[in-house]
Amino acid sequence: MVLLEMSIVPMSLGDSISQYVAECVDLVDQSGLEFELHAMGTIVEGELPEVMQLMQRCIEKMAEHSDRVTCTAKLDFRRGKQGRLTAKVDSVEQKLGRKIKR
């Protein structure tokens, strides 16, 4: 399983791009994969081929609106482990002995 953190931005569309980001989030939501949306990107958990395919679909969706799209991506591959989307934060909270603001 992998965690993929991605931020995909269509260029030259102005200061606010949330309407375009919403289209990518819709693709992520419809994928059936576990994910978390945050202010600077999205984290998706799944098998490597499916998360890479999803990222490609999101890039292609943004390319429908702009001739230039940037993508920042980070992968964390760990064989045999799943549920890490929340487990990693849970582990930190356990070590702190308290809940943190999420």
- The CB density around residue 46, as the number of other CB atoms within 10 Å, is 21
Mean pLDDT of all residues in the chain?
Answer: 93
The model's confidence at residue 86, banded by pLDDT at 50, 70 and 90, is confident
Give, in order, the Cα–Cα distances in Å from 17 to each of 1, 4, 9: 30, 21, 8
Domain membership flag for residue 25 = yes
Domain membership flag for residue 101 = no
Say what the pLDDT of residue 70 is: 96
pLDDT in tens, 12-48: 888 888 999 999 999 999 999 999 999 999 999 999 9
Domain membership flag for residue 24 = yes
User: Which CATH number fits the domain that encloses residue 37?
Assistant: 3.30.70.930
Say what the pLDDT of residue 59 is: 97
Range of the domain at 32: 2-96
Domain membership flag for residue 42 = yes
Percentage of the residues of the chain whose pLDDT score is greater than 90: 74
Domain membership flag for residue 28 = yes
Domain membership flag for residue 37 = yes
Structure tokens at 94: 């356990």
Percentage of the residues of the chain whose pLDDT score is greater than 70: 100
> Structural domain tally of the chain?
1
pLDDT in tens, 46-84: 999 999 999 999 999 999 999 999 999 999 999 988 888
